[in-house]
Amino acid sequence: MIQLSEKVLCSIGLVLGLVILLGYGLVSYAAEDVIVNATTSGGRIVFQDDASHGVYLLGRAWADFGSNATLSNATPSLETGTGRSVFLVACENDRRNEPGGTRTAAFTLTVWDPAGVSHSTTREFGGICSETLSVDCSPSKPGEGRFEITSTIRERRLNLPAVFDR
């Protein structure tokens, strides 16, 4: 039986640890998010002085990992008052990630007030979800704004050729 000294064992351990650390760094550097599918829909919001403000459901966003499908359905147009309004989107992801899966469903709601200032929120999920996104918007002047609802499926993938091309 071969006996190794403590120094040799320590050196082997250090080299092995360095190789693992470098491998992890290379894999982390080579991983990238790829958009598998994305759908965006939107509409307009008319902010008026003489209308009351409130809470509005703007539409629905949906994702399905099994079919790589996304959907964003939006109300084409609505009217509300100036002051604080809350805008909502119902979001769903109907399927689980496969075991060890790296897919993410991302839902974004963005509302632009009449001055062109954006108010946005994004939520990401790795599995089945049923959530409501909300954005507050408080324009002080009347005018026309707009909104967008985006549903995206992203997947984390290794791109080793990109590492060597950099």
Given a cut of 70, whether residue 10 has pLDDT beyond it is yes
Given a cut of 90, whether residue 4 has pLDDT beyond it is no
Q: Return the pLDDT at 78.
A: 94
Count CB neighbours of 131 within 10 A: 14
- pTM of the complete model: 0.76
**HSE toward the beta carbon, residue 45, CA cutoff 13 A:** 32
What would the pLDDT profile of 64-118 be if each residue is shown by its tens digit? 988 889 999 999 999 999 989 999 999 999 877 777 678 899 999 999 999 999 9
Q: Return the pLDDT at 114.
A: 95
Distance of CA 154 to the CA centre of its chain: 8
Single-letter residue type at 55: V
Q: Return the pLDDT at 31.
A: 72
Q: Which residues have C-beta within 8 Å of that of residue 13, sequence separation ≥ 6?
A: none
Q: Return the pLDDT at 29.
A: 58
Rg of the chain in Å (alpha carbons): 24
Do 11 and 111 meet the contact criterion of CB atoms below 8 Å apart?
no
Mean pLDDT of the 53-73 span = 93
Q: Return the pLDDT at 159.
A: 62
The answer for 94, left when phi > 0, alpha when psi is -120 to 50, beta otherwise, is alpha
What would the pLDDT profile of 21-46 be if each residue is shown by its tens digit? 666 655 555 678 888 999 999 999 99
Residues shown for the chain = 166
Residue 50 is classified by DSSP as T
What tokens appear for 99 in the block? 């075991």
CA 69 to CA 46: how far, in whole Å? 31
pLDDT band, very low/low/confident/very high, at 18 (cuts 50, 70, 90): confident
What tokens appear for 75 in the block? 């109300």
